[in-house]
Amino acid sequence: MGRIAALTRNPVMMALVASLAIAGCASKKTPNSAADLGLSGAGAATPGSAQDFTVNIGDRIFFDTDSSSIRADAQTTLSRQAQWLNQYGQYAIVIEGHADERGTREYNLALGARRAAATRDFLVARGVSGQRLKTISYGKERPVAVCDDISCWSQNRRAVTTLSGAGS
Amino acid sequence: MKSILKPLLMIVAMALGTTAAATLPAWALVELNVNKGNVEPLPIAITDFQGGDALGAEISGIVSADLKRSGLFAPIDKSAFIEKISNPDATPRFEDWKVINAQALVTGSVSKEADGRVRAQYRLWDTFAGQQMSGEQFFANDANTRRVAHIIADAIYERLTGEKGYFDTRVVFIDESGAKNARKKRLAIMDQDGANVRYLSNGKSIVLTPRFSPNRQEITYMSYESGQPKVYLLQIETGQRELVGDFPGMTFAPRFSPDGQKVIMSLLRDDGNSNIFAMDLRSRSTTRLTNSAAIDTSPSYSPDGSKVVFTSDRGGRAQIYVMGADGSGQTRISFGDGVYSTPVWSPRGDLIAFTKQTAGEFQIGVMRIDGSGERILSTGFQQEGPTWAPNGRVLMFFRDSAGGPKLVSVDLTGRNEQSIPTANFASDPAWSPLLE
């Protein structure tokens, strides 16, 4: 037998790249707050402004764990949103769906997408034109609350209605 | 922007003749049996490789660390060594090694050739049988000593266990830095032990879930760079990137088929549910594999390409399902108490690794491909996303604690857990195949 484990290895060409030109597609600077939109900081929001929407209408709704059902409290918020959006037709709308961290990454991307779609469908049913509405899921990648307990997770299970491409 | 495109290493292996005219049966000193009780790691003496000054000690140090982290070997402290090896090719004084209970002994040398190449050789000795078990030498065209050391560790592991090693492998992962609500996420690649980290993206866009192609030259991953999250391909060597498919909605959860010709992934439908598609990378044709009003995601091929395991919540909560590669015969296989996701088929074909959420905790476990024989290997507050070492004996996953995720490996016994050192937080590891 005389087995000497001689592993025959093919010559290996190995090449790794240090840093690649992942073209840094410098994301367009998008306004992400009322102030960025050129609105007055504090004080009364101008009716019809993004600040008005965020402060007086409420730009977000929350979900139960692993659910994309629109809760009763969320229905109230979304009905207000629909009325406002129908009144101020100049805004394009992106609905962001988010999940808490108590799920795996890929599943939560899908869950966030389902929440965004459920929110969109509710607004459409309340008369907002589907042409104005886009959705995006951030899964659990964009938490707003960052502690490790239930109060945080419930704030992160959300759908945020953003105007003119504004981030949440 | 650096662009290192030259080959770093050329390795040529050849067998070294044995000095003892021994005939050895093809047995292994270490038995791999995940069902056995505590396996005592094999005491092994790994002497500093001769020559090359610090290089020799560096190589033996890497070999020793690899073998130790596998949990199957217990490298003996060098201060206990009696015989000082001066000629690594000469038959050692086996008595000196038996007395410190070294059941195996590694000697070796390293030198620079006239043409600039590095030559490294090792011999593996069975001290109790008084025989050489194996010996090889390697030539590298660059001083990538870490890689030579990993290849030597693989050779020793294979000779002593009878199974392929996994040390000459790489891991792609997501490097995470910054505050939790504004994490910068970058694609990164490193050796399986955490060395030689290189970044493959600049962190301006969220990137997630990188996975290797079978030939290790390409990865598929998901990025937000276009605004909508989409699946991309990246050639590691050239940096060339390409969008996979032209779909209206989000695409995510990509993986290669075992032949590298297809990418399987989830595609978001307009109704908010996600289904699984496979795209042929040559013909660009896509095949829908699932069509349910549910979340279907995290698809992973069996190693022969005939089946796909995936996550679906079509039954209410997320569970694991198996189907034919054409979408036929979709069958639920997980029935335990909890929520199951991220199934990944073992490269050996025998097991499926998963993340399970139960009783407020996250577990990493394995089950047979029919869902039977579930075994939990690790339990924690927040951990997920197992990936298999190419020999199907070790899993790596990420665990969130102390403010962010870090990489952890665990073997199939569940008893040998090791943390993988990374400079920043790290998530979504995907282990490379071995090069044949």
Portion 80-109 of A in contact with B at CB < 8 A: 101-107, 109
Min Cα–Cα distance to chain B from A3, Å: 6
DSSP strand pairing (B404-411 vs B170-177): unpaired
Mean pLDDT score of chain B:
90
Q: Lowest-confidence range among B6-15, B63-72, B312-321?
A: B6-15
pLDDT of residue A17: 28
| Residue A6 belongs to a domain | no
Answer for the pair B341, B318: CB distance below 8 angstroms, yes or no. yes
Nearest to A52 by CA among A75, A81, A12: A81
Higher per-residue pLDDT: B23 or A12: B23
- Determine the average pLDDT of the residues in B50-74: 92
Answer for the pair B153, B104: CB distance below 8 angstroms, yes or no. no
**With contacts defined as CB-CB under 8 Å, which chain A residues touch B295?**
107, 110-111, 114
Query: Which tokens sit at B248?
Result: 């209206």
Answer for the pair A7, B124: CB distance below 8 angstroms, yes or no. no
B135/B426 Cα distance (integer angstroms): 37
With CA atoms as reference, the chain B residue closest to A5 would be B134
**With contacts defined as CB-CB under 8 Å, which chain B residues touch A113?**
249-250, 268, 272, 274
A60 close to B (CB below 8 A): no
Q: Residue B66 pLDDT > 50, yes or no?
A: yes
Answer for the pair B245, B259: CB distance below 8 angstroms, yes or no. no
pLDDT of residue B98: 96
pLDDT of residue B368: 98
Q: Lowest-confidence range among A24-28, B97-101, B336-340, B400-404?
A: A24-28
pLDDT digits (tens, 9 = 90+) for B130-161: 999 999 998 887 657 788 999 999 999 999 99
DSSP strand pairing (B104-112 vs B42-46): parallel
Higher per-residue pLDDT: B197 or B18: B197
A20 close to B (CB below 8 A): yes
pLDDT band at B31 (very low <50, low <70, confident <90, very high): low
Higher per-residue pLDDT: B204 or B5: B204
A135/A119 Cα distance (integer angstroms): 9
**Domain, as residue range, for A153:** 50-163
pLDDT of residue B434: 86
pLDDT of residue A27: 37
With CA atoms as reference, the chain A residue closest to B228 would be A136
Domains of chain B: 12-161 (3.40.50.10070), 170-431 (2.120.10.30)
Q: Do B15 and A6 touch (CB under 8 A)?
A: yes
**With contacts defined as CB-CB under 8 Å, which chain A residues touch B385?**
104-105
| Residue A137 belongs to a domain | yes
Nearest to B207 by CA among A23, A12, A70: A23
pLDDT digits (tens, 9 = 90+) for A2-18: 333 332 333 332 222 22
pLDDT of residue B321: 98
First to last CA, chain A: 70
Phi and psi for B46 in degrees, rounded to 5?
Answer: -115, 105
Among candidates A11, A12, A22 on the partner chain, residue whose Cβ is nearest the Cβ of B202: A22
pLDDT band at B402 (very low <50, low <70, confident <90, very high): confident
| Residue A8 belongs to a domain | no
Q: Do A15 and B13 touch (CB under 8 A)?
A: no
CATH number at residue A69: 3.30.1330.60
pLDDT band at B36 (very low <50, low <70, confident <90, very high): low
| Residue A35 belongs to a domain | no
Min Cα–Cα distance to chain B from A84, Å: 24
pLDDT digits (tens, 9 = 90+) for B223-246: 999 999 999 999 998 999 999 988
First to last CA, chain B: 32
Q: Could you tell me how many CB contacts below 8 A there are between chain A and chain B?
A: 213
| Residue A119 belongs to a domain | yes
pLDDT band at A36 (very low <50, low <70, confident <90, very high): very low
How many domains is chain A built from? 1
pLDDT of residue A106: 98
| Residue A80 belongs to a domain | yes
- Determine the average pLDDT of the residues in B157-173: 95
Provide the 8-state DSSP code for A57: I
B126/B121 Cα distance (integer angstroms): 17
Phi-psi region of B161 (alpha: psi -120 to 50; beta: other; left: phi over 0): alpha
pLDDT digits (tens, 9 = 90+) for B184-225: 999 999 999 999 999 999 999 999 999 999 999 999 999 999
Identify the helix (H) or strand (E) that includes residue A151: helix A150-156
| Residue A100 belongs to a domain | yes
pLDDT of residue A151: 78
Min Cα–Cα distance to chain A from B269, Å: 9
- Determine the average pLDDT of the residues in B350-373: 97
| ipTM reported for the complex, 2 dp | 0.91
Residues A139-167: b if buried by 16+ CB within 10 A, e if exposed:
bbbbbebeeeeeebbebbbbbbbbbeebe
Q: Residue A104 pLDDT > 50, yes or no?
A: yes
| Residue A16 belongs to a domain | no
Min Cα–Cα distance to chain A from B400, Å: 10
Q: Do A114 and B272 touch (CB under 8 A)?
A: yes
Q: To the nearest whole percent, how much of chain B has pLDDT over 70?
A: 90
Query: Which tokens sit at A122?
Result: 């509710």
Q: Residue A31 pLDDT > 50, yes or no?
A: no
